Amino acid sequence: MAPALQGLLTIVIGISVCVGYFFGSNLLLDMLFPPRGPKAGRNTNIANLIRPWLFLFPALFALGLYLMYPVVETLRLSLTDRIPGGGYQWTGLSNYTQMFQEPKFWEAMGNNLLWLLVVPGMATIFGLLAAQLTDRIAWGSIAKSIIFMPMAISFVGAAVIWKLVYDARPEGQDQIGILNALVVWFGGTPETWLTLPFWNNFFLMVVLIWIQSGFAMVILSAALRGIPEETVEAAIIDGANPMQIFFKIKVPQIRSTIMVVWTTITVIVLKIFDIVFAMTNGQWGTQVLANYMYDKLFIARDWGVGSASAIVIMVLVLPILVWNVRNARREMS
Amino acid sequence: MGNVVLKDVSKTYGGTVNVLNDIDLQITAGELIVFVGPSGCGKSTLLRMIAGLEKITGGTLEIDGQRMNDVPPAQRGIAMVFQSYALYPHMTVRDNMAFALKLAKKSKEEINEAVEEAARKLQLTDYLDRLPKALSGGQRQRVAIGRSIVRDPKIYLFDEPLSNLDAALRVATRIEIARLKEEMPDRTMIYVTHDQVEAMTLADRIVVLANKGIAQVGSPLELYERPQNEMVATFIGSPAMNLLPGKITGTGAQTEISLDDGGKAVSHVQTEASDMGKTVNIGVRPEHLEATDGEGLFTGRVDITEALGEVTLLYFETVGTDPALIAKLPGVHKDRRGQKVTMTAAPEHVHVFHEGQSLLYR
Ligand SMILES: Nc1ncnc2c1ncn2[C@@H]1O[C@H](COP(=O)(O)OP(=O)(O)OP(=O)(O)O)[C@@H](O)[C@H]1O
Ligand SMILES: [Mg+2]
């Protein structure tokens, strides 16, 4: 069968099963506790207690199977070693201590920290700027669509695009990478950007900033529009110039949204994998935690250390996630 | 100082939507001017043009003799109080009030003094360190007023400042504004409202806006006693003035009108012989109608009575005229319901309008 047909079939079956489940389970519930007859009142109450769980069950089941179980399993794996030939043994924290002694792990930690310092901040700032500036021009919505477009590209796709931007050919040949083409045009010598120690990290970060600025812009633009126009007008009458209006009136009013955007990007950064994997695969000092985990799990086949690094990533992400959810909730209420 | 002169001012939104035309108005320093008019007639637009928030698309605006069309709002010597308060939600009451002064780079002592002074005037001293969301509507509006006071502008602009408050608070805040005005006799205030009572009680002069222009400017009593046209006549006063169609049948120092529904009216308005036979509307306010046993303006069956205690409103069942005729009689008259009553009015209370314009003015 053609893959497209297969996909279509899956969708159709999936949706019918969903509809069938909700319809059937509710029907069954009403049959077990009919809302009529002598016990109509009691039956309705019981059915109403059960009904929410019917709706929640599929989500809870999927979350349990695909989220909770892997977490527990990863934790177990990180505390065990495989015995050659089959079976496993508990080894306590030895996977962790081994990992903490590897320089490559600390390189990944350091780089992740660097990403953390640069990317969420820059993406938020660019997003905020784009949101504010595109609101004021006639072709703003077109500009917005263009800035948002990278969001629709997969991280790997974006990485490939930027790999071409950074592409380097030997001196004297035509440069097909735009960056080197520009450098040569201005009379410089071409660089292999992705191997420049330390700086190559920033060249990778640019890709994520490029993608995430669009996301930040869309959210922040909506927030900016939610600001009551009168507060801006009052500030104009109070004598504020455009800069002061932006920084003293507008930004403070959308502070919580800015925090939500910032933390959301922070979580993405902590898990960043595709871009590094596709562009440098962690070589030349660009390793990050998620790619380190991938190396350990699927290249070195060291499930113990791989799982340990996965747990480290989770522990780092968790507090930010909790904070993010709380912020978002406060935003809503 | 605080003289405002509007010359031929007009406003067209987006090049096509014409909202105001040929507005000529002179406001003297120290006046409290109220803009009233039906919803959508351009009151806010006119106020915002004076404030500088809306571009003036025709004519000139002068403040103290200086052309202001292109002067930024902050340099016009004005302050504005918005209907929605427009407080900065992330700043305390103190910071809200101090914001303009901080931008103007005033010294700390100066700012503190101005803020404390304004807070004292408006009984906000206890709330200075609160955020706006922790204040009641009335308190918020007082902060908004305080925010304009600290800047000590020549001209205060109010856009329906009380319409978000409940009835009792509205009265209290209205009195507060009247008191403020008294404390600052040389400051000009321009006040937009829907509320007749606000307009009548606060204003030195009222500007009635209608049909893209000014229908009449005058003191509250002038508008009430000598409305220039039917629009002003029916807009000022509540319930609205009754209008009855008729023809002029007698001219001179007093005018006689025979009404289409059979009644006869005598008005104190002077007319000339040439007015004879003109079709007119006479206008009589509900409170000036009285019951009579003899001949009157009209006879009608009382459809509904509304006893308000001090007065009773009688709504007449009428044929011909669209809005029901209304009379306001002192005392309680519930028993009038269903009765046939003849109403009349003294000549000095009978207005005469020809083609919408009062014959008093010509
Ligand atoms: N930005 C705009 N673009 C086009 N038309 C506008 C704009 N703002 C206002 N108008 C129109 O101008 C007219 C006057 O509006 P304005 O707000 O001044 O009325 P208003 O007298 O203050 O009414 P209200 O008593 O309801 O506050 C209205 O018909 C409105 O539709
Ligand atoms: Mg208005």
- CATH for B240-361? 2.40.50.140
Domain contains A79: no
Binned at pLDDT 50, 70 and 90, residue B262 comes out as confident
User: What's the rounded Cα separation, in Å, for the pair B128 and B115?
Assistant: 9
| pLDDT score at A82 | 79
Q: Does any ligand 1 atom lie closer than 6 A to the CB of residue B17?
A: yes
Token pair 């529009």 is found at A225
User: What's the rounded Cα separation, in Å, for the pair A331 and A260?
Assistant: 9
Number of the ligand 1 atom closest to the C-alpha atom of B42: 18
pLDDT 10s digits, B227-255: 999 999 999 988 999 999 999 999 999 99
pLDDT 10s digits, B31-42: 999 999 999 999
Q: Does any ligand 1 atom lie closer than 6 A to the CB of residue B228?
A: no
Binned at pLDDT 50, 70 and 90, residue B361 comes out as confident
Superfamily of domain B4-233: P-loop containing nucleotide triphosphate hydrolases (3.40.50.300)
Give the residues across from B209 on adjacent strands: B214
Instruction: Note whether A34 and A101 are same-domain residues.
Output: no
| pLDDT score at B343 | 93
How many residue contacts between A and B have a Cβ separation below 8 Å? 60
Binned at pLDDT 50, 70 and 90, residue B28 comes out as very high
Instruction: Note whether A105 and A240 are same-domain residues.
Output: yes
- Chain B residue with Cα closest to A254: B90
Ion ligand 2: residues, CB within 5 A, are B 44
- Stretch B152-165: mean pLDDT: 91
pTM, two decimals, is 0.80
Domain contains A87: no
A90's enclosing H/E stretch is strand A88-90
pLDDT 10s digits, A150-172: 888 898 999 999 988 888 887 77
Binned at pLDDT 50, 70 and 90, residue B294 comes out as confident
**Which of A 269-308 lie inside 8 A of B, CB atoms?**
none
Given a cut of 80, whether residue B321 has pLDDT beyond it is: no
Residues A292, A108 contacting (CB under 8 angstroms): yes
Instruction: Note whether A301 and A171 are same-domain residues.
Output: yes
Higher pLDDT, A85 or B335: B335
pLDDT 10s digits, B327-342: 999 999 888 888 899 9
Please tell me the total count of domains within chain A: 2
Residues B269, B351 contacting (CB under 8 angstroms): yes
Instruction: Note whether A309 and A177 are same-domain residues.
Output: yes
Indicate yes or no: CB of A231 within 8 angstroms of CB of B74: no
Instruction: Note whether A43 and A108 are same-domain residues.
Output: no
- Stretch A273-277: mean pLDDT: 90
3-state SS track over chain B: CCCEEEEEEEEEECCCEEEEEEEEEEECCCCEEEEECCCCCCHHHHHHHHHCCCCCCEEEEEECCEECCCCCHHHCCEEEECCCCCCCCCCCHHHHHHHHHHHCCCCHHHHHHHHHHHHHHCCCHHHCCCCHHHCCHHHHHHHHHHHHHCCCCCEEEEECCCCCCCHHHHHHHHHHHHHHHHHCCCCEEEEECCCHHHHHHHCCEEEEEECCEEEEEECHHHHHHCCCEHHHHHHCCCCCCEEEEEEEEECECCEEEEECCCCEEEECCCECHHHCCCEEEEEECHHHCEEECCCCCEEEEEEEEEECCCEEEEEEECCCCCCCCEEEEECCCHHHCCCEEEEECCHHHCEEEECCEECCCC
Q: What is the mean pLDDT of chain B?
A: 91
Q: Does any ligand 1 atom lie closer than 6 A to the CB of residue B40?
A: yes
R_g (Cα) of chain B, nearest Å: 24
Indicate yes or no: CB of B74 within 8 angstroms of CB of A234: no
Q: Which of A56, A71, A86 is the last residue of a domain?
A: A71
- The domain locations on chain B are 4-233, 240-361
User: What's the rounded Cα separation, in Å, for the pair B37 and B191?
Assistant: 12
Binned at pLDDT 50, 70 and 90, residue B207 comes out as very high
N residues, chain A: 333
User: What's the rounded Cα separation, in Å, for the pair B171 and A40?
Assistant: 55
N- to C-terminal Cα distance for chain A? 50
Given a cut of 60, whether residue B45 has pLDDT beyond it is: yes
Instruction: Note whether A154 and A227 are same-domain residues.
Output: yes
Indicate yes or no: CB of A240 within 8 angstroms of CB of B103: yes
Domain hosting residue A57, numbered range: 3-71
pLDDT 10s digits, A180-201: 888 888 887 878 887 888 888 8
Best B81, B82, B154 residue to mutate vs chain A (most A CBs within 10 Å): B82
Domain contains A189: yes
Binned at pLDDT 50, 70 and 90, residue A24 comes out as very high
N- to C-terminal Cα distance for chain B? 34
Q: What CATH code is carried by the domain that includes residue A325?
A: 1.10.3720.10
Q: List C-alpha distances in Å: B36 to B79, B105, B179.
A: 20, 37, 21
Instruction: Note whether A58 and A102 are same-domain residues.
Output: no
Number of the ligand 1 atom closest to the C-alpha atom of B45: 18
Q: List C-alpha distances in Å: B110 to A248, B80, B102, B150.
A: 21, 21, 10, 10
